[in-house]
Homo-oligomer: A and B are copies of this chain.
Amino acid sequence: MKISVFGTCVVGQTIAGKLAEIGHQVMVGTRDVDKTMARTEPGLYGLPTFSVWQKQYPGIKPGSYAESAKHGEVVINATSGMGSLDALTLAGISNLNGKILIDISNPLDFSRGMPPVLSVCNTDSLGEQIQRTFPEVKVVKTLNTVTSSLMVNPGQLANGEHHIFLSGNDPSAKSQVAEWLATWFGWKYILDLGDITTARGTEMYLPLWLRLWSELGTGMLNVRVVN
């Protein structure tokens, strides 16, 4: 299917690459295509520049946020959380309305040093901000609790026996996303937490996740809910 992935950094590349590998028509959305293609400094963790990375995936086209959103039957927001509302606004409400928007970003503010803090939490969440800004979009928050390589390949850890969460106001959109998580990436344990306000829970889990990463020395970690 035609999929729009917003974001050209590690999460966007990982998601877009995986979706292209399994046969989808992916257009990556970015603020300025020329600037993104001209970037020469390597990314975090020695990530290749976007243009080098993109050579491995000739089927993946870069486009503006608006072009990418127009292309996608579904839009995946993998931008940095601090810039997500801007990116989605640039995409244009008419290119988003009626579609499922899978929001996998976190509102992490790195400007005050490490570990980052959340720019919104407790009484609100980025998921809710996006849903309020785009009331006709079916926002489903998910995947934001694991590192990108686990997002697309949960089976590489503990035989996939760990959980991913869903938050959103539209039950059928959540069912659809759950099916995609299973078929695209192989998620076996998908837990629907409830409406979009439950995104506060998964976004506020990030500080614990970051400390676990630091303590265990690996981001290849997740939680299994036992009950």
Contacts and interface: CB of A to CB of B under 8 A. Distances in A.
Interface of A: 117-118, 121-123, 157-158, 161-162, 165, 191-194, 198, 200-202, 204-205, 207-212, 214-216, 218, 220-227
Number of copies: 2
Contact of A221 (B117, B201, B226): B226
Contact of A227 (B165, B214, B218): B218
A201 B208 contact: yes
B204 A191 contact: no
A226 to B, nearest CB: 4
A215 B200 contact: no
B225 A226 contact: no
B201 A211 contact: yes
A106 to B, nearest CB: 13
A95 to B, nearest CB: 31
B204 A225 contact: no
The 4 closest A-B pairs by CB, nearest first: A201-B208, A221-B227, A223-B223, A158-B226
B215 A191 contact: yes
